Structure 1
């Protein structure tokens, strides 16, 4: 059994962990959430490229984009940390 950092926040923005063998229902839900978050991050990069290239983009549009990118980067960093922890844990088993 290992601890897994989940790809969502708990109460008051605190980290959520799962004690798991990697095969349970919550682990599968977390895998699905991670996949969705990564796909959305990829789509956001495409939108960002389009908006940055648009000389008519307003400050409000760019601020909105920047906030969504901050949220997405937070999610991607959490996923990377979680996966890194699991990889490091699997080397010691």
Structure 2
């Protein structure tokens, strides 16, 4: 979006929960930027996403991977603990 090329003409005020504000300040300090710049960066990144992108369920994000690996046991989901128990053991 590139807000740095546009003059700042509007001001707004928002209320943030304490933990969110603390994280915002931590990131601003780490990046050595004013809090407002970190907010603008985050908002710019968010607005570049397609609408609804963050509302997708996690399974929808990996759906294309389901069934993508051949040769796995048919009962892997129901017996995952049994298969993982042997993981890392010398054979």
Q: Do they fold alike, i.e. is TM over 0.5?
A: no
Task: Decide which structure has greater helix share.
Answer: 1
Task: Decide which structure has greater strand share.
Answer: 1
Higher RCO by CA contacts (8 Å cutoff, separation 6 or greater): 1
TM-score, scaled to structure 2: 0.27
Largest Rg, 1 or 2: 2
